[in-house]
Amino acid sequence: MEGEKEQTVEPSPAASTAKEESATAQKELYRMREEFNQQRARMKELYLAKENECKRHAAEATAARKELEEAKAQLRIMEYSREKDAEEQRNKVEDENRTLKQLVNETLDESSCMRESVQQLQDENGRLLEEIRQLKEELADSNQVSPSLAKTVQQAKKIILKLGAADSSSCDNLEESMRKVKKYVRMYCDDRISAKFECSTLFSFLFYFF
């Protein structure tokens, strides 16, 4: 019995080796678990860091998109304002061009009318010069004026001289005398066609002093 107890208490070499191997395996398993837990903690930290970084980038991207949309809106407003200003400027220039063309056309029309008026005046002047020339020729051909007309002319000239020397207190008498002279001249101007120029000259004197 004692011998059997001694045999049971004493471990065999194989049992000791198995026990040691089991303890070593448990230690290795514990070490591996600790290492795994450490790696998992590091991975979790990296994941959280990456997640935070992604959130930050997403926020920055959202802010950038918002800023871009605002910039696009401002650009559209500026483009609309620029086009509107350009259109107003074009309309203003077109209005100024139309006004300028109208002024040019009116100026050309006025210039054409002025040329026609000048031509008419030149024609009238030529006609009057020709009439004066003819009157001078008729006056030169006429050696004398009818006695009654000559007398009337002399009387008119005397009255004109008196009119020039009269004072301001005799205005009514002067006007009456001038009317009489004009009446005499009208009466006798038809007597001789050759006296037409003399009558015209006399009337010029009368209207000048009257």
Q: Which two three-digit tokens encode residue 151?
A: 């007398």
pTM comes to: 0.34
Question: Could you give the CA distance from residue 204 to residue 182 in angstroms, rounded to a whole number?
Answer: 11
Are 209 and 163 a contacting pair, CB within 8 Å? Answer: yes
The tens digit of pLDDT for each residue in 79-119 reads: 999 999 999 999 999 999 899 888 888 888 887 888 888 78
> Which residue in the block uniquely carries the two structure tokens 């002319």?
153
| Helices 147-165 and 196-209, packing angle to 10 deg | 20
The tens digit of pLDDT for each residue in 27-69 reads: 888 888 898 889 888 998 999 998 999 999 999 999 999 999 9
